[in-house]
Amino acid sequence: MKKTKICKKCKKEIDKNAKTCQYCNTKQKTNIKFIILIVLSIFIIIIYLNNKDNENSIINNIIFKNKITVKDFSTMTKTEVDTWCQNNNIKCTIENKYSDTIDKNQFISQSINANEKILENDEITIVFSLGKKITTEREAALEKAKDYSEQFHMSKQNIYNQLISQIEGFSEEEAKYAIDNLITDYKSNALEKAKDYQKNSNMSKNEIYNQLISNVENFTVEEAQYAINNLK
């Protein structure tokens, strides 16, 4: 059906889009209010969208500015990791787990990869090694190593050799665990050995030095020199 409107002058029905009445030739007025309303609506929408874009841009700038690049923690100690986390306001959890392949206090993993971007107060978990889990055999090997160090003042190499010998019968892995976890001062052991040679064998300092670094005692050059320097 054709759309129509009423001429305001002659009151006859004419085509809705007619600009002039076909009966009385009177020009028809355009609905200015409607047009103004449409223009204003479009203008308001443009302003709103523009403000929204500016708001998003500001938010994105703030977020980007505060982004933090995650460090490669594999090259850092626990203390260094903790300091980095505090300085960057990152919630770090440091966990410790046993490992048969990674030495004690060495890095194992981090929950967020290095060089990734994070925000303040984000959480990261960093795992360090407790070393090999203590077994009965490892504990026994460690106790034997302590005895050889404290009672016989042996070098590191000689303690290891004694542990894997037929006399003690520990495996190489168990002996290595004992050596790695033995807390002792091998320089002091070398000095005690030097005193024994001086007292009981009447050796000169040069002879004692050579004996300490020989395949018999297996002390390092540094340990042997320490012993000679502190021998009266």
Higher pLDDT, 3 or 30: 3
At 53 the pLDDT is: 59
If you average pLDDT over residues 172-183, what whole number do you get? 94
Q: Which CATH architecture has domain 136-229?
A: Orthogonal Bundle (1.10)
**Confidence class of residue 8 from pLDDT cuts 50, 70 and 90?**
confident
At 15 the pLDDT is: 75
pTM for the predicted model, two decimal places: 0.52
Checking DSSP bridges between strand 91-98 and strand 123-131, what pairing results, if any? parallel
* Domain residue spans of the chain: 20-63, 68-131, 136-229
Low-confidence winner among 38-47, 87-96, 110-119, 168-177 (lowest mean pLDDT): 38-47
**Confidence class of residue 111 from pLDDT cuts 50, 70 and 90?**
very high
Residue 189 tokens, joined? 């052991």
Higher pLDDT, 53 or 128: 128
Measured CA to CA, the distance from residue 35 to residue 139 in angstroms comes to: 92
Measured CA to CA, the distance from residue 131 to residue 160 in angstroms comes to: 18
At 125 the pLDDT is: 96
How do residues 66-75 score in pLDDT, each as one tens digit? 689 999 999 9
Higher pLDDT, 22 or 219: 219
Give the percent of the chain with pLDDT over 90.
64
If you average pLDDT over residues 164-187, what whole number do you get? 95
Class level of CATH domain 68-131: alpha beta
At 66 the pLDDT is: 67
Taking 3-state DSSP, the helix, strand and coil percentages for the chain, each rounded to the nearest 5, stand at 50, 15, 35
At 41 the pLDDT is: 81
At 122 the pLDDT is: 92
At 158 the pLDDT is: 97
Q: Mind spelling out the 3-state secondary structure of 39-62? A: HHHHHHHHHHHHHHHHHHHHHHHH
Contact 224, 188 (CB under 8 A): no
At 73 the pLDDT is: 94
At 87 the pLDDT is: 93
CA trace torsion 195, 200, 203, 205 (10° rounding):
10
At 77 the pLDDT is: 92
CA trace torsion 87, 90, 109, 96 (10° rounding):
90
Mean pLDDT of the chain: 87
At 100 the pLDDT is: 85
How do residues 120-171 score in pLDDT, each as one tens digit? 899 999 999 998 888 899 999 999 999 999 999 999 999 999 999 999 999 9
Contact 54, 34 (CB under 8 A): no
Measured CA to CA, the distance from residue 15 to residue 172 in angstroms comes to: 106
